[in-house]
Structure formats: C-alpha cells, structure tokens
C-alpha cells in the first residue's frame, strides 16, 4: 500500500496541467480568452493592435509582423525576418525563445530561456483552442501575455 501511495505521488507530482487559450466565438480570431484574461483587437479586421486587460500589444511599425511591443517594456520579435517559426521575447532582464517544435508546424511550440514549457493546439488542425503549459512563475503579466500572444499570432497569421 505504501508503494502505491509513493507511486501515485510521483506520477501526480510530474503531471502538469496547462491553461487553455480559446477563441471567444468560432471562426473569430479577433477575440480570445485565457483563464480570466481577454485578448481582442482594437479595430475590426485590424490584427496589428491588441488589448489585453490594460496591456497593449502592437506592431512596432505598421504592417511589420516581425516586431511587436507588449506593454511598455517587452519586445517580441522573430529571430529571422519573415520567419514566424522562431520568436524572441526580451524585457525586464529576461530573454525567452519560442520556436516551433517541427519546422512549419504552427500547432506545437517549445518555450525556453528564462521560462520553460510548451504551447500546442488541443486538437490537430484546430487553431481556435490551445493548451499553454508554461512555468509563468517569476514572470510579469506583460511577459506572460507576450508568450500567450505567440499562439494567437500563429492562429490569425493566415488572415494577414
């Protein structure tokens, strides 16, 4: 009996429970919900400026999808110009890299650097629902929102 309890403790201790990111309405990539936080575009059909509960997320330059500003101090950039498979988030003395697990597969991402985890769609070929399993401990709200925004960007990228 004691060994069963130890085994269950080890198994449950190693399990991680991701948070879900989902569109508010089907086929509408302009409104998202992540736990109690809402992401939505500022302008209808304008994907270059977003609001997230007091935080703004916007392209640094109009129609430059490679470079974003999250809040006042976080930058979100592609590692290589026009290559949306690898991103880097910088700010507050931290650097986080987010890259697709497999080349050109936007449904699975690895998070490394000053945060660890994975981002993946819940169902194959369904970009409206994501599981975000990232250790957010020690990261500001703006840094967390930058990480979550990668999944949102991957989803609406087809529309820009």
Tens of pLDDT along 101-139? 998 899 999 999 999 999 999 998 899 999 999 999 999
Tens of pLDDT along 2-28? 554 443 343 443 344 579 999 999 999
Question: Hey, is 102 helix, strand or coil?
Answer: coil
- Give a yes or no: residue 4 inside a domain: no
- Give a yes or no: residue 59 inside a domain: yes
Residue-range definition of the domain harbouring residue 99: 18-159
pLDDT of 2 reads 53
Nearest CA to 140 out of 101, 102, 91 is that of: 91
Is the model's pLDDT at 159 over the cut of 80? no
d(Cα 34, Cα 19) in Å, to the nearest integer?
7
pLDDT of 56 reads 97
User: Under a CB-based contact definition with an 8 Å cutoff, are residues 92 and 85 in contact?
Assistant: no
User: Under a CB-based contact definition with an 8 Å cutoff, are residues 95 and 101 in contact?
Assistant: no
- Give a yes or no: residue 10 inside a domain: no
pTM higher than the cut 0.85: yes
- Give a yes or no: residue 11 inside a domain: no
- Give a yes or no: residue 31 inside a domain: yes
pLDDT of 7 reads 39
- Give a yes or no: residue 29 inside a domain: yes
Question: Which spans in the chain are helix H?
Answer: 2-14, 141-156
The tokens describing 156, both together, are 């609406």
Mean pLDDT, to the nearest integer, of 55-79? 95
Count of the separate structural domains present in the chain = 1
Average pLDDT, rounded, for the chain: 89
d(Cα 41, Cα 54) in Å, to the nearest integer?
13
Tens of pLDDT along 24-46? 999 999 999 998 999 999 998 89
d(Cα 9, Cα 33) in Å, to the nearest integer?
32
Percent of the chain topping pLDDT 70: 88
- Give a yes or no: residue 122 inside a domain: yes
């Amino acid at each position: 009996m004691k060994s069963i309890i130890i085994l269950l403790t080890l198994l449950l201790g190693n399990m991680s429970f991701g948070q879900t990111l989902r569109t508010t309405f089907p086929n509408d990539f302009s409104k998202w919900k992540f736990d109690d936080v809402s992401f939505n575009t500022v302008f209808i059909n304008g994907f270059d400026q977003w609001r997230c509960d007091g935080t703004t997320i916007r392209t640094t330059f109009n129609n430059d999808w490679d470079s974003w500003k999250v809040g006042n101090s976080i930058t979100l950039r592609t590692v290589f110009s026009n290559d949306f498979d690898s991103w880097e988030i910088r700010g507050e003395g931290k650097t986080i890299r987010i890259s697709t697990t497999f080349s050109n597969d936007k449904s699975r991402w690895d998070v490394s650097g000053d945060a660890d985890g994975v981002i993946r769609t819940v169902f194959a070929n369904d970009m409206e629902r994501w599981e975000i399993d990232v250790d957010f401990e020690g990261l500001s709200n703006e840094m967390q929102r930058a990480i979550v925004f990668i999944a949102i960007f991957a989803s609406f990228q087809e529309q820009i």
